[in-house]
Amino acid sequence: MLLKLKLTLCSCVVLYAFAASTSSPAQQDAKSGKRTLIRAGHLLDVKTGKLSDAQTIVVVGESIQSIGATASVSQQPGDEVIDLGGATVLPGLMDVHTHLTMNPDFDPFREVTSTSAKEAINGVVNARKTLMSGFTTVRNVGAGGFTDVDLRDAVNAGQVAGPHMLVSGPAMGITGGHCDDNLLPAQYHSVGDGVADGIAQVQHKVRENIKYGADVIKICATGGVLSKGDDPQASQYTLEEMQAIVADAHRLGRKVAAHAHGAQGILWASEAGVDSIEHGSYIDDAAIAMMKKHGTYLVPTLYLEDWQIEKGQLPAFYHKKMVDVSSVAKQNIKHAMQSGVKIALGTDAAVYPHGLNAHEVDVYVNQLGMTPLAALQTATINAADLLGLTAKTGTLEPGKWADIIAVDKNPIDDVRTLQDVKFVMKAGVVYKQNGAEIR
């Protein structure tokens, strides 16, 4: 027993030393305590929409130390100065529904031949794309083999450039449901990593996912679009199963995100106490009332519909469901927005190419009628609230992470400027400047 304990302690020391040794020079600089002065031509307050000219953000380590008028913040010896005099500066954006380890290739042969190693390689590439597009925080809701856990840890260790990540590991679902593996015939006995049926099994799966590193629990409350043999409108997990999932997850300090297209599944998942409904395509008044009663967030994923209808090359059995869902989702979600349901931005990136995440804001404004400020808040203040990160990010304030981006114009005047981010700083480290990647 003593030998086992010694070996365990040695392993911990080695892992800690490895993480420290693999931190990037940029991360080491961010932790050194030196000051970086970001001279902002225009600073946007995402709480109010107010634009303040000639402001300087003082960054020390990973955090914002202070913000003040540029005329009152003098450069000191050793300071690094970043001149963003012609730009509009705002907090890094957040996407609460991504799949960084996946790509928009839904050929069934590709799907059944995917491996955890391939997913991990995808994740390295896509985490970088996402960060460079101005999204400094994401919630990854579904990955095979806990590859998103490993990706998160590699980002945190400085081995890989990417956003802050909260991750779910394999999404939970019923046998034969949206989160199962349904493409192979019976003789292969293929079962998804997150499949669990009945109260005892779902409790075990929640605990297992947490054991292997999940920050959040993702469940499939209804059928989906990109899955074979199920109906997006049909409920999958029962109310009682979801209540058991939520009880265990919340007791163990994890929030729950529920994939749910159909109205009954949205209603049950909200009643069970999930923290967010993902997609919400067939949401109705009863489900809206339940979500408002419980303060449940809705995470629409709408730009993917435009991209898929225009550019997607889905197999016929996926395409039909995509067309059916797309014909009603925006109208229903617009009604939910206007009814006062809380909205956080999510994209389902992987259903369309990573790095286009900011197109979701454009849909909210120019197709659903949301004001530019409210749409921007879905990707900042609201997203931070849903993720439990309000104390760390979502606004530019002293004490919060130095997650800072810059664009050419005020996004309140034109939200499409968010699709061309010129500057990206995450946790005090600059990754993009003057429109060029530098890390």
pLDDT digits (tens, 9 = 90+) for 168-206: 999 999 999 999 998 889 999 999 999 999 999 999 999
Q: Is the pLDDT of residue 10 over 80?
A: no
| Per-residue pLDDT, 110 | 86
The residues facing 299 across adjacent strands are 278
Cα–Cα distances (Å) from 310 to 270, 307, 368, in that order, read: 33, 5, 19
Helix (H, G, I), strand (E, B) or coil at 167: strand
| Per-residue pLDDT, 272 | 98
- State how far the Cα of 89 lies from the Cα of 242, in Å rounded to an integer: 41
Considering the chain, tell me which residue range(s) the CATH 2.30.40.10 domain(s) occupy: 26-92+394-437
Q: What is the mean pLDDT of residues 236-262?
A: 98
pLDDT tens for residues 101-148? 999 998 888 888 999 999 999 999 999 999 999 999 999 999 999 999
Q: Determine the Cα angle at 379 with ends 376 and 380, to 5°.
A: 85
Q: Is the pLDDT of residue 215 over 90?
A: yes
Please state whether beta strands 404-407 and 423-426 pair in parallel, antiparallel, or not at all (unpaired): antiparallel
Pick the closest to residue 121 from 105, 136, 102 (CA basis): 102
Contacts 24+ apart (CB under 8 A), 280-287: 280/329, 280/332, 280/333, 280/336, 281/232, 281/325, 281/328, 281/329, 281/332, 281/333, 282/232, 282/233, 282/328, 282/329, 282/332, 283/332, 283/333, 283/335, 283/336, 284/332, 285/339, 287/263
Pick the closest to residue 171 from 258, 280, 57, 87 (CA basis): 258
Q: What is the mean pLDDT of residues 9-35?
A: 52
| Per-residue pLDDT, 26 | 56
| Per-residue pLDDT, 222 | 98
Task: Tell whether domain 93-387 is in CATH 3.20.20.140.
Answer: yes
pLDDT tens for residues 266-283? 999 999 999 999 999 999
Q: Is the pLDDT of residue 16 over 70?
A: no
CB 216 within 8 Å of CB 254? yes
Strand extents, DSSP E, 70-167: 80-91, 93-98, 135-140, 164-167
Q: What is the mean pLDDT of residues 248-265?
A: 98
CATH top class, domain 26-92+394-437: mainly beta
Handedness of CA 361, 363, 365, 366 (dihedral sign): positive
pLDDT tens for residues 397-413? 999 999 999 999 999 99
High-pLDDT (> 90) share of the chain, %: 87
Tell which wins on pLDDT, 5 or 257. Answer: 257
Q: Any idea which of 61-70, 93-102, 238-247, 306-315 has the lowest mean pLDDT? A: 306-315
Q: Any idea which of 28-32, 175-179, 288-292 has the lowest mean pLDDT? A: 28-32
Which pLDDT band, with edges at 50, 70 and 90, does 31 fall under? low
Query: Locate tokens 């996912």: which residue?
Result: 209
Considering the chain, tell me which residue range(s) the CATH 3.20.20.140 domain(s) occupy: 93-387
Pick the closest to residue 221 from 264, 180, 191, 161 (CA basis): 264
Q: Is the pLDDT of residue 7 over 60?
A: no
- State how far the Cα of 340 lies from the Cα of 354, in Å rounded to an integer: 29
Please state whether beta strands 63-69 and 436-437 pair in parallel, antiparallel, or not at all (unpaired): unpaired
Q: Is the pLDDT of residue 6 over 70?
A: no
CB 44 within 8 Å of CB 88? yes
Which pLDDT band, with edges at 50, 70 and 90, does 352 fall under? very high
pLDDT tens for residues 44-68? 999 999 999 999 999 999 999 999 9
Pick the closest to residue 261 from 289, 217, 230, 290 (CA basis): 230
Residue 263 structure tokens: 């109205």
- State how far the Cα of 225 lies from the Cα of 316, in Å rounded to an integer: 11
Q: Is the pLDDT of residue 17 over 80?
A: no
Which pLDDT band, with edges at 50, 70 and 90, does 2 fall under? very low
Q: Is the pLDDT of residue 13 over 80?
A: no
The residues facing 77 across adjacent strands are none
| Per-residue pLDDT, 8 | 39
pLDDT tens for residues 60-111? 999 999 999 999 999 999 999 999 999 999 999 999 999 999 999 988 888 8
- Spatial neighbors of 369 by CB under 8 A, at least 6 apart, are 334
CA dihedral 410, 412, 417, 423 (to 10 degrees): 50
Q: What is the mean pLDDT of residues 430-437?
A: 95
- Let me know if 86 is exposed, middle or buried by CB neighbors in 10 A (0-12, 13-18, 19+): exposed
Q: Is the pLDDT of residue 439 over 80?
A: no
High-pLDDT (> 70) share of the chain, %: 93
At 31, which amino acid appears? K
Pick the closest to residue 321 from 234, 216, 392 (CA basis): 234
| Per-residue pLDDT, 33 | 76
What number of other Cβ atoms are within 10 A of residue 130's Cβ? Answer: 28
| Per-residue pLDDT, 3 | 37
Q: What is the mean pLDDT of residues 292-310?
A: 96
